[in-house]
Structure 1
Amino acid sequence: MTLIKRIFVAALLLVLPLAATAQEAMTEDRVRELVRETILANPEILVEAIAILEERAAQDRVTASADIIAAQRQLLERDSNAPVLANPDGDVTIVEFFDYNCPYCRRAVPAVEGLIEADPGIRLVYREWPILGEGSVFAARAALAARQQGFYEEFHWALMGMNGRAEERSVLRIAEEVGLDIDRLRADMEAPEVAEHIETSIRLADLLGITGTPTFILGDNLVPGAVEQDVLQRLVDEVREEQAQ
């Protein structure tokens, strides 16, 4: 919608309640005239009216996201092909979409680590979503393959804490440092479940309208960006309250 149309619709939102109380029938031309008169007499209403539109649009997006999360909850929270950290039997599940080359994902690490240390009821599901180039794809495939050697968690935190970009050489160097068998790792990276996990992440991100990393999902909330630990904890507490009702 162009700005001109948005302004007209916004002003109309404020004018219609007045029109509804008018005794005379309101023709389309009369409504347009009333809108113009209202704008000319009260130009400040445009800011308020556009704010109303934007608030309604934001609420519509939140409602749509919540509906999609509810429809995809089983796959989001209980996909057997997704790594689970912290407490596998926790009462609140957090799903994180991330990329090893995302600086904001790395910035969020202290908040995530602090949360799972402070709250033993957290169940953390990771969705490898490599969107920042070939190095990200290689890192995601290597991390998922590391599950076969029981090293996913250690390898994950090491990759998140690395300096510089995750590329084939740097990823394999860290893999050696944590004790992975590199030949086996390369072979396991070609396993169908590795590709399946990434493809599922792409499909879920598209359905949910996720546009960047990190993105967290808690209950019906979709939370983009590197949020602080206290924000995550507040959302966790809200989910617990809803579950208790």
Structure 2
Amino acid sequence: MPDRKLPSRNRREFLQTGLATGAVIITGIPASAQENPMPDGLRQALEHEKLGAVLGNPSGDVTLTEFFDYNCPYCRASVADLHRLILEDQQLRVVLREWPVFGAGSLYCAKVSLASLRQGKFWQFHTSLMRIKGPADDKSAIATASSVGLNMGQLRRDMEDINIARQIEHSWILAENMGLSGTPTYIAGDFGAFGQQSLDELRSMIAEVRGA
């Protein structure tokens, strides 16, 4: 497992296209985010995933994508702010991408998370697991799933679906191709931010996308 240590918080970044490879790397924000926009194919792959969690307005004018891990303390701290953004911004679409960089426990939780979508209880599971104290692993994930009323037999069957494994793999591939540094990473339009972000900083990123 690669080292995913977080750098100093609030480092605002721009996603710049690597023209030779089609990959996206993180560099400093230029004068205009539109000087080197994200390719349409990459944006489609990033923002539109049939098996992933989509919150807020599914037809919103801005999509905010978060790469997260259930064992990431900054990801846990961000849940309330994301919820507030969704409630106050009726044109915001939020995509949550499981990126289990903290090991086997995180991978297990990611599978439970994606399986919970099939029972319509992703948000209940997600917010409950993000509130726990201690590690997110198989024991805490199953206890949380049971507490929010998931059908455990169906959950275990769905967790073994190859499409869930492929969804997680797809997020890994996207993150690696874009050169992401760890969780949480937020991407909106051609802008990105790595590390803990305040509510106002997330609002500012969304406003920058609309302004651009």
Question: What TM-score, normalized by structure 2, do the two folds share?
Answer: 0.80
Does the 8 Å contact 1:85/1:125 carry over to 2?
A: yes
Alignment of 1:69-80 (within 5 A): 70-80=40-50
Separation (CA, whole Å) in 1 of partners of 2:132 and 2:163: 26
1:107 aligns with 77
- Is residue 211 of structure 1 aligned with residue 181 of structure 2? yes
Separation (CA, whole Å) in 2 of partners of 1:183 and 1:94: 33
Count the aligned residue pairs: 183
Separation (CA, whole Å) in 1 of partners of 2:116 and 2:200: 31
1:127 aligns with 97
- Is residue 233 of structure 1 aligned with residue 203 of structure 2? yes
Q: CA deviation at 1:58?
A: 3.9
Q: 1:141 aligns with which of 111, 118, 122?
A: 111
Alignment of 1:71-220 (within 5 A): 71-220=41-190
Runs of 4 or more above 2 Å deviation: 57-60, 66-71
Question: Larger Rg: 1 or 2?
Answer: 1
Q: CA deviation at 1:234?
A: 1.3
Change (3 A) 1:225 1:146: same
Letter in 1 for 2:146: E
SS, match of residue 85 in structure 1: strand
Separation (CA, whole Å) in 2 of partners of 1:107 and 1:146: 21
Q: CA deviation at 1:59?
A: 5.8
Structure 2 gap segments, 5+ residues each: 1-26
Does the 8 Å contact 1:111/1:227 carry over to 2?
A: no
Does the 8 Å contact 1:69/1:220 carry over to 2?
A: no
Which of 1 and 2 has higher RCO (CA within 8 Å, sep 6+)?
2
Separation (CA, whole Å) in 2 of partners of 1:70 and 1:221: 15
Identity percentage over the alignment? 42
Change (3 A) 1:217 1:69: farther
Separation (CA, whole Å) in 1 of partners of 2:177 and 2:38: 7
